[in-house]
Amino acid sequence: MPAKLIDGKLVSSVLRAAIREEADAFAAKRGRRPGLAVVRVGDDPASVVYVRNKMRACDEVGFTSAVFVLPGDTSEEAVLSRIAGLNADPLYDGLLVQLPLPAHLDERRIISAVADSKDVDAFHRLDAGHLTLDGGNVLPCTPYGIMELLRYYEIPVRGRECVVVGRSLIVGRPMAALLLAADGTVTIAHSRTADLAAVTSRADILVSAVGRAGLITAGMVKPGAAVIDVGMNRDAQGKLCGDVDFAAVSEVAGYITPVPGGVGPMTVTMLMRNTLSAAQAASGQMPD
């Protein structure tokens, strides 16, 4: 029997409707709407698209939002000055700097300049520390979205073998931390892992976040496993695809995310959730 499709668009729409209700209630009580500011440096085409999608999501859930575009040759001090101003601006509860940044800018220094209370991407070192020590205050958007997909489809994590392929700071490592916090037995695999197929074939939950088209084949997947594809690649025909050989793996897995339409919509939705949570925290309001 083919794998059941994990529909990120469906789950995202359900969550965004709930976020909209909470945002409306927040506005009625506080006299303002949650706000998100985005700083974009330069005109990287992918970044332009990503930021546009975030602004559309803000409109959908009823947030105030703004994009602050700086020229690609802007100095690091000027970028930091803009961030400092937005840190102090009470109109915006969330603040993110769209990556990647131009090569002359110190990405770590700039990301660290975002106030922890407004770090809705959860890229700040303090948030990374909280995630490791106590489960996190604000969760990285893509791993957070994956956990919501597992919850929606009632895919249990506790006691299950979980394998994360990829060790990036944005997806791989925080994904492993969230699965561990949910009582999964977690293995992180990467480019230096010996016999990757032997590792992945043990997984009840397999998350691939490498960025290599066709990396995960049917022979690498345990029958009935939940396969979560975070990859965003282009195949030989230029068509968007993930890390997983979708057609072949669908015949083996129990659940599978498509690309596009799987994890992607959830990342932006959890950014909205984090922004709402930041607004509630700034107003001293506990989430309902």
Residue 132 burial by Cβ neighbours in a 10 Å radius (0-12, 13-18, 19+): middle
Q: Is residue 33 within 8 Å of 21, Cβ to Cβ?
A: no
Q: For each successive 10 residues of the chain (288 residues), what is the average pLDDT? A: 95 98 97 97 94 97 98 98 98 96 96 94 79 77 97 98 95 95 96 95 97 95 98 87 96 97 96 97 70
Residue 239: phi and psi, rounded to 5, are -85, 140
- Which residue ranges does the chain devote to CATH 3.40.50.720? 141-263
**What's residue 129's pLDDT?**
76
Looking at 3.40.1390.10, 3.40.50.10860, 3.40.309.10, 1.10.10.10, the CATH number of the domain 31-116 comes to 3.40.50.10860
Given the candidates 3.40.190.10, 3.30.565.10, 3.40.50.720, 3.20.20.80, the CATH classification of the domain at 141-263 is 3.40.50.720
Omega before 100 within 30 of 0, i.e. cis: yes
Q: Around 43, how many Cα atoms within 13 Å sit in the side-chain half-sphere?
A: 1
CATH 3.40.50.10860 maps onto the chain at: 31-116
Round to whole Å and give the CA distance between 62 and 19: 9
Residues known to be catalytic:
54, 98, 121
Residues 29-50, buried b or exposed e (16+ Cβ, 10 A)?
eeeebbbbbbbbbbebeebeeb
pLDDT of residue 136: 64
DSSP alpha helix (H) spans, 62-165 = 76-87, 107-113, 125-134, 141-152
State residue 84's pLDDT score. 98
Alpha-carbon distances, residue 216 vs 122, 133, 264 (angstroms): 28, 31, 18
